[in-house]
Amino acid sequence: MRILIVEDEPDLLASLAQALREEGYAVDTADNGDDGLFNAEGTDYDAIVLDVMLPGIDGWEILKRLRKTKKTPVLMLTARDQTCDRVKGLDTGADDYVVKPFDLEEVFARLRAVIRRSANKTTNLIEIGDVQIDTAARNVLFKEKPVELTAREYSLVEFMALHRGEVVTRTQLYEHLFDENDTTMSNLLDVHVSNVRKKLGAEFIVTRRGHGYCIE
C-alpha cells in the first residue's frame, strides 16, 4: 500500500511518515501544495493524507484538481472542526477527514477504512480459500494457523487480496509496494511472491505470463 502525505509542518510530516512506514505502508511525502498535486496526479496512490492549510496551492484546490483525473481515496487533515469545513471537504470529494490534534491510531484506522472502501470491501476480514486476512490487525491465517509474514510480504498479500480477480501488473505492484526512496531491484518482487507462495500455498498467487499476477 502506497500513501502520499502532503503536510507543511516538517515535524508532523516526519512523524506521520515514519509511523505509517512502520505500519507497513510505502510512504511518499510533499511539504507544499504544488509538489503534493504533482505527486498525486503522477502516481496511483492507495490513499493520500492531505493537509488543508498549505503554502502554494491549498488542500481544497489540490483535491478539486485531483478529482478531475483520479479517484484516489483522500483523508483530509484539518485544524478546523467546524461543520462547514467538514461539509466543504466531503463535498469537494474528500473520503474522510481527521481534525487536528489527532491520535495516530485514528489516522491508521481511517486510512484503512478509506482504502477498504475504495476496494469495495466493508470489513477488515478478507477470506480467500484457506487464507484469512485481517487488515486491521495486519495478520494472516492459513488453515486457521497464524502465518509469519514480513511487512512487504503482508503488503503484497493485502494489495493482491483487495484486487482479487484482477490481474495486477508488476509495475502496479512496484508502484504500490515501494515508495520513491526505495531502490528497487527488478527481482525483489519475485522473491516476495515466491516467499508468499511458500507460506500460503503455491496456488494462492497465480502467475499470468506476460501480464502479471492474480488471486482468483
Partner 1 sequence: MKIFKSIKWRLQLWYGLILVVVLAGFGFTAYQLERNRQFGRIDQELHRRLNVLANALHRPPPRRLDQGFFRPPPDQMPDEAPPIRQENRPQPEFRLPPEAAQLFGTNDSNGFYFHITSGTENDRHEIARSENYQKPKAVIQFDHFFDQLNHADLPPEKRPAKLKSMDYQDERITADILPSGELIEVGCSIAPELNELRHTALNLAAVGSLILLVGLTGGWWFVGCALWPVSAISTTAAKISAGDLSQRINVADAESELGQLAAILNSTFARLETAFAQQKQFASDAAHELRTPVTVILTQTQMALARERDAAGYKQTVEACQRAAQRMRKLIESLLELARFDAGQEILKKMQFDYAKTISDSTELVQTLADERGVKIMAELDGLEVTGDPERLSQVVTNLLTNAIQYNQPSGEVRVKLESQTGLAVLKIADTGQGIAPEDLPRVFERFYRADKSRTGAGNAGLGLSICKAIVEAHGGTMEVASKQNVGTTFTVRLPV
Q: DSSP letter at 100?
A: S
Quick check: bond before 10 cis, omega within 30?
Answer: no
CA–CA distance, 30 with 78 (Å, rounded to integer): 16
Position 178 contacts partner 1 (CB under 8 A): no
Q: What residues from 92 to 131 belong to the interface with partner 1 (CB under 8 A)? A: 100-105
Position 79 contacts partner 1 (CB under 8 A): yes
Look at strands 74-78 and 47-51 and give their pairing: parallel
Applying CB under 8 A, among 34, 42, 44, 55 the residue interacting with partner 1 is: 55
Nearer to partner 1, 79 or 167 (CB): 79
Applying CB under 8 A, among 53, 119, 151, 188 the residue interacting with partner 1 is: 53
Q: Which is nearest to 77 in space by CA: 102, 56, 58, 50?
A: 50
Position 19 contacts partner 1 (CB under 8 A): yes
Interface segment toward partner 1; rule CB under 8 A; list 2-10, 131-139, 156-164, 178-186: 2-10
Sheet with strand 139-142: strands edge to edge: 125-128, 131-134, 139-142, 145-147
Rule CB under 8 A: which residues touch partner 1?
8-12, 14-16, 18-19, 22, 53-56, 58, 79-80, 82, 100-105
